[in-house]
Amino acid sequence: MPVNKMAPCSPCVKAMKTTALLLVTSVTMLTPGLSGAMGDATSGSLGKTERAELVRLVRQDCGSCHGMKLTGGLGTPLTREALAGKPVESMAATIIHGRPGTAMPPWKTLLTEAQAQWIAEQLIAGFPEETP
Amino acid sequence: MRTFGYLIACFAFSLVLAACSSAPVAPVVRGTGDLGVVIERAKGAVTLVNTSSRSAYGRVEGLGDLSHASVVFSRDARYAFVFGRDGGLSKIDLMEGRLAKRIMQSGNAIGGSISQDGRIVVAQNYTPGGIKAFDAQTLELLSEVPAEYAPGKFSKVVGLADVPGQRFAYALFDGGEIWVSDFTNPRAPTTRRFPAGQQPYDGLITPEGRYYLAGLFGEDGIAQLDLWRPENGARKILQNYGRGQEKLPVFKMPHLRGWSIAAGQAWLPAIGRHEVIAADATTWLETRRVALKGQPVFAIASPDQRQIWVNFAHPDNGWVQVIDTLSGQVVQTLQPGRAVLHMEFTARSGNVWISARDDNKVLIYDTRSFAKLAEIDADAPSGIFFTSRAARIGF
């Protein structure tokens, strides 16, 4: 991480080193895409790697409308409080089929029903953070 | 004499030690014209960068939720105003590399803009829907325009752009209108409303400040308002560009800005389609479509207007394609890194900076040779903003 040579005592130096360490660990944990997880619609239990990929997808890609912290944006908030009382099945159906007339797209080309079901269950329970 | 020199050296060394123990370092004198900021969306931080040395020179933390952040610059290019998703508005001093001021201005924001005279910064908000104007120096609230398009109904605001004459144009996603607010009196703005179409998702103003375009999500086409002749109202252009074809799901809303105008044409992401659509910037009739690898998110012209660089929505967000504006052909396809979120050009073209979120890197490419020149580490980088925006209408 290039750091300003004129300010050797800058408090940012320490922060940058910490960040760099975190990055190394997070990069090694990731596997690209969800391709490895597809075609597994019948499996009720998802593997650890697959779950981590789904958490990332929800935080990062659903997050472009719903917010990375799921507090809402162009899309509705998806926090546990906001979703209280919503049936999991209908949420999973919304993920798979989208919501016509709104900006919510159908995710069926990218997610299996089992994956959508798992995401809906996690959202209701309070969605996990990405683990580095 | 030698002893005296030794004493001076000791004294100087102790000064350095003293400087190290007491935190604030004397401000570095630096020009700001070649500086910029890179948003680190997950950490709520920005990395400060220098486009001449192609390196980072500082970092500012504690800026809240930057998962959808945008930045405008003061007209002297000293300060960057960072608008966060959580409604935070932060003013960063690029010369001193530190946070100058920060306020929470709403519950859920999407971006902001700065007035022609640089005295007012305006935030566009989702919750509560509307815009708010702040004194650029103090961040004191001056006035607000709630986006109440029907009694008791407030719209999310998108596509805020500065318009010459202390005005701002923006679109109402839920209200289906374009509004133009005049802040000549910053504490008592006046607003004109123009019906636009279903669900405008973003907007842009052309580089000379004449046309405001709002992309429509709820129907095919783009709403266009001629700000030189607003009495004519908004009209639709590029209608039916998806007619007769099944709409593809849109996994990420495209972003529009005035960078889309190049070589006499507007180059716009075709929403839901794997295409960029070009229209003559005089007649506003479609001239061509360019087939691409995925759904475009950004289609950005290089400042020399010779190329359009395009990135894509998930799951094609590892690709970047380059369109030649003369031939309308894709001339280069790159894989700069995982999850490419944004691109920014140096002011006179030459270099483009590309953020690859999942690689935690910003990649710098030469726009002629397409060679990679350098990389900068950044935590989950998204938006890249250079101070050259300070002098452009619509940025």
Q: How does pLDDT run along chain B (395 residues), one tens digit per residue? A: 455 555 555 455 554 444 444 455 566 788 999 999 999 998 999 999 999 999 999 999 999 999 889 999 999 999 999 999 999 999 999 999 999 999 999 888 989 999 999 999 999 999 889 999 999 999 999 999 999 999 999 999 999 999 999 999 999 999 999 999 999 999 999 999 999 999 999 999 999 999 999 999 999 899 999 999 999 999 999 987 765 567 788 999 999 998 899 999 999 999 889 999 999 999 999 999 999 999 999 999 999 999 999 999 999 999 999 999 999 999 999 999 999 999 999 999 999 999 999 999 999 999 999 999 999 999 999 999 999 999 999 99
Give the ipTM of the model, two decimals please.
0.79
- Determine whether the interchain pair A7/B23 forms a contact, defined as Cβ–Cβ distance below 8 Å: no
CB contacts, 8 Å: A68 with chain B? 41-42, 65, 67, 85
Two tokens, residue B356: 């690859």
Task: Identify whether the C-beta of residue B179 lies closer than 8 Å to the C-beta of residue B147.
Answer: yes
User: B289 has which bridge partners?
Assistant: B277
Q: How far apart are CA B217 and CA B199, in angstroms?
A: 5
Handedness of CA B375, B376, B382, B383 (dihedral sign): negative
Long-range contacts of B352-358 (CB under 8 A, 24+ apart): B352/B302, B352/B309, B353/B36, B353/B38, B353/B49, B353/B51, B353/B384, B353/B386, B354/B311, B354/B320, B354/B384, B355/B38, B355/B381, B355/B382, B355/B383, B355/B384, B356/B381, B357/A60, B357/B41, B357/B381, B357/B382, B358/A30, B358/A32
Q: Measured between alpha carbons, how far is B302 from B323 in angstroms, rounded to an integer?
A: 10
Which residues in B355-366 are b (16+ Cβ under 10 Å) and which e?
bbbbbbbbbbbe
Per-domain boundaries in chain B: 105-252
Structure tokens at B331: 């001339």
Mutation target for A interface from B85, B173, B357: give the one with most A CBs within 10 A: B85
Measure the CA–CA gap between B116 and B395, rounded to whole angstroms.
Answer: 10
Q: What is the pLDDT of residues B49-91, one digit of tens each?
A: 999 999 999 999 999 999 889 999 999 999 999 999 999 999 9
B108–A72 CB contact, under 8 Å = yes
A68: contact with B, CB 8 A cutoff: yes
Which of A6, A26, A110 to probe by mutation at the B interface, max B CB count within 10 Å?
A6
Type and span of the H or E element at A91: helix A88-97
Q: Token pair for residue B375?
A: 């990389």
Query: Cβ neighbours of residue B44 under 8 Å, at least 6 residues apart?
Result: B61, B62, B63, B64, B65, B66, B84
Domains of chain A: 41-125 (1.10.760.10)
**Single-letter amino acid, residue B158:** V
Beta carbons of B367 and B350 less than 8 angstroms apart? yes
Which chain A residue is nearest to residue B337, measuring alpha carbons? A32
Q: Is A68's CB within 8 Å of B67's CB? A: yes
Classified by CATH at the fold level, domain B105-252 comes out as: Methylamine Dehydrogenase; Chain H (2.130.10)
Q: Which residue has the tokens 């590029």?
A: B238
Cα B160 from chain centroid (whole Å): 10
DSSP B42-58: TTTEEEEEETTTTEEEE
For residue B348, the surrounding DSSP H or E stretch is none
